[in-house]
Structure 1
Amino acid sequence: MLLTCIALTGATGFIGSALRPVLERDGHRVRALTRHERGANEATEWIRGDLQDRQALKRLVAGADCVIHCAGAVRGADYETFRAINVTGTREVFEAARSEGCAHLLLLSSLAAREPALSWYARSKREAEQQLDDTGAPGITIFRPPAVYGPGDRELRPLFDTMLRGLMPIAGAPQGHLAVLHVDDLVAAIRAWLETPAIGPGPFELHDGTPDGYTWPQIAAIAARIRRGRVFSLPLPEALLRALAHCNLALARRTGRTPMLTPGKVNELRHPDWRCDNTALATALNWQPTITLERALADPALWRDRGH
């Protein structure tokens, strides 16, 4: 692998925290954006600032061979919260990169961008992709991962813990299909892209190698095999979820919090088809996922925080 200088956003988030040490071990020079002061003895060069700070972004990308944009908002009480980070922030990062002559740009979008009418989050992700498409600039690649999990994840771990104790709450569509991806496989895909960055814009979907995704009964059966005991499914009524989401959103707006459970999030959860296709990315890159959901659930080190 050709060693490069990599500008990284979202380096302290879930995916970025998994990616950054791997890039360092590969021998790359990593320059990462951070809102907080970091130790000077770390291997990464930290640039203090955020996605609204043009001077910080210019320092971030100056002399970089490529930019990997992982930062994004996943919570918010209105569309403008998502737009400011996911749309405007993305544009600022990529405009700074182009102004500094950086030719290889990777945007970590989301499978939700395929269904922009579902939620503020999905709409913002699609708009971020479209504004990059509209520029017509070369060197941009878009990845659309589905639900990503692994050590450091805070969204799926509670579900996994509960399932392996014998109870599986189901907030999604009862007959729905969903895709997942382990963070290590996503990192492997990014490493493969670094070796062959000029693969075209995509967007490229990714999943864990299960072509048809998972149904909730299949997930329950996986958990039952691993715990060697029955797993009881507990479908959550859609009306209850929507009532909770509306209450949560109203409370968040009064308190200034950034909520996760909103009406849009319920729309995402209840969407019946989150299947996706690895074919285009596997053809473009020498990459195949290796961690199925069953393999991960059978090994707590693959989904629980390290040290637990």
Structure 2
Amino acid sequence: MTGPVAVTGASGFVGRALIGQLLEAGRPVRALVHRQGVGLSHPKLETVTGGLSDRAALLRLMDGAHAVIHVAGKVRGRDLTDFLGVNADGVTHVAEAAQAAGLRRVILISSLAAREPQLSPYATSKRTGEERLAKAASGAAFTAAILRPPAIYGPEDRELVPLFQTMARGIVPLPGVPGARASLLHVDDLAQAIVKLLDSPAQGTYELHDGHEAGYGWDEIAAIVERVAGRGPGWRLRIPEHVLRSVAGINLLASRLFGYMPMLTPGKVNELRHPDWVCDNTEISRDTGWQPLISLENGLSSILRGTPLKSDRGISNVT
């Protein structure tokens, strides 16, 4: 492999973890940054300032690169229009620049939500982005692969970690339907999977999880958090659907009045209450050799208790 690895979404939670692993492996990285820097300094790290609609910036990003990993995405919005500009049009711009720059490999980090595009504008936009890449790759000089990660957590996570911390204090909100199950994945395992996929000829769409094949129920997650926190069962607070939908509707209205991008919307409630977000590692493990290293208990021990991050295979400091 020659040339740097180009990375979009470099300043985000997943992007920083990925760049750290690429640099640790001795690979030069060229990162696209927009409003916020990467927060890393390394002799093999170069940054390019610009957005996904800036063709000149994308061409600078990919000039001489071997591959691009497209991590950038938008998770907050009011309607489909808010999401499409980044999650679909952005994919088109990246694919066009990759073709123009002569790259050989394009990796798209999508979302498991794309499996159920009817649930929300976000899910629709992620599925549309996947379809745009598949169309662009047909007959192109580059090969393409798509990852659909489940819910991702890790030290810099601003979504799941606060929920885990609330559970550790003894308050366990339960917004999902009874019996719902979902896969989880530590961000470092995701970063390793991306690198494995980058180095393989694998094409297509892949799901992945942390090795817990049946996923987790909300009560199971709470029990693991409580065990790690060294406390007994906390107060289970089941949140009725009508409460979630009322709050989401008010939040959506307020976002339009005050001009902010909301997280909790009616579409997000649909995602939260979907009964099956369980993934399957069979195909990605078969095609790349990747295996998850970090169980939920070990990942949470590192976050909630500050213990060294360990893998299920007994390897300390897996990052």
Normalising by structure 2, what TM-score?
0.90
SS class of match (2:5): strand
Superimposed CA distance per residue, residues 71-90 of structure 1 (whole angstroms, 9 cap, x where no aligned partner): 00000112111000000011
* Structure 2 Cα separation of the partners of residues 131 and 54 of structure 1: 17
**Displacement after TM superposition at 1:159 (Å):** 0.9
* Structure 2 Cα separation of the partners of residues 185 and 4 of structure 1: 24
Are 2:282 and 1:283 aligned? Answer: no
- Inter-CA distance 96–221: structure 2 relative to 1 (3 Å threshold): same
**Displacement after TM superposition at 1:162 (Å):** 1.1
Between the aligned residues of both structures, percent identity stands at 48
Q: What is residue 236 of structure 1 aligned with on the other side?
A: 239
Q: Does the 8 A contact of 1:76 with 1:259 survive in 2?
A: yes
Q: Does the 8 A contact of 1:151 with 1:301 survive in 2?
A: no
Superimposed CA distance per residue, residues 137-171 of structure 1 (whole angstroms, 9 cap, x where no aligned partner): 45000000000000110000111001111221011
* Structure 1 Cα separation of the partners of residues 290 and 227 of structure 2: 29
When structure 1 is superposed on structure 2, of 216-225 and 187-196 the one drifting more is 216-225
Q: What is residue 299 of structure 1 aligned with on the other side?
A: 302
The letter for the 2-side match of 1:139 is T
Q: What is residue 312 of structure 2 aligned with on the other side?
A: none
**Displacement after TM superposition at 1:231 (Å):** 2.4
Q: What is residue 21 of structure 1 aligned with on the other side?
A: 20
Q: What is residue 252 of structure 1 aligned with on the other side?
A: 255
* Structure 1 Cα separation of the partners of residues 195 and 4 of structure 2: 13
Are 2:224 and 1:222 aligned? Answer: yes
Are 2:67 and 1:63 aligned? Answer: no
* Structure 1 Cα separation of the partners of residues 113 and 40 of structure 2: 37
Q: What is residue 96 of structure 1 aligned with on the other side?
A: 97
Q: What is residue 193 of structure 2 aligned with on the other side?
A: 189
- Inter-CA distance 206–89: structure 2 relative to 1 (3 Å threshold): same
Q: What is residue 261 of structure 1 aligned with on the other side?
A: 264
**Displacement after TM superposition at 1:40 (Å):** 11
SS class of match (2:216): coil
* Structure 2 Cα separation of the partners of residues 281 and 60 of structure 1: 28
Superimposed CA distance per residue, residues 243-275 of structure 1 (whole angstroms, 9 cap, x where no aligned partner): 000100111111110110000000000000101
Superimposed CA distance per residue, residues 163-192 of structure 1 (whole angstroms, 9 cap, x where no aligned partner): 111221011222200111100100111121
- Inter-CA distance 116–30: structure 2 relative to 1 (3 Å threshold): same
The letter for the 1-side match of 2:262 is P
When structure 1 is superposed on structure 2, of 284-293 and 120-129 the one drifting more is 284-293
Q: What runs of 5+ residues in structure 2 fail to find an aligned partner?
A: 310-319
* Structure 2 Cα separation of the partners of residues 40 and 145 of structure 1: 24
SS class of match (2:88): helix
* Structure 2 Cα separation of the partners of residues 63 and 52 of structure 1: 20
* Structure 2 Cα separation of the partners of residues 248 and 106 of structure 1: 34
Aligned residues: 302
**Displacement after TM superposition at 1:218 (Å):** 1.4
Are 2:204 and 1:205 aligned? Answer: no
- Inter-CA distance 212–302: structure 2 relative to 1 (3 Å threshold): farther
Are 2:88 and 1:84 aligned? Answer: no
* Structure 2 Cα separation of the partners of residues 37 and 118 of structure 1: 31
Q: What is residue 314 of structure 2 aligned with on the other side?
A: none
Are 2:295 and 1:274 aligned? Answer: no
* Structure 1 Cα separation of the partners of residues 166 and 41 of structure 2: 40
Q: What is residue 122 of structure 2 aligned with on the other side?
A: 121
Q: What is residue 317 of structure 2 aligned with on the other side?
A: none
When structure 1 is superposed on structure 2, of 107-116 and 42-51 the one drifting more is 42-51
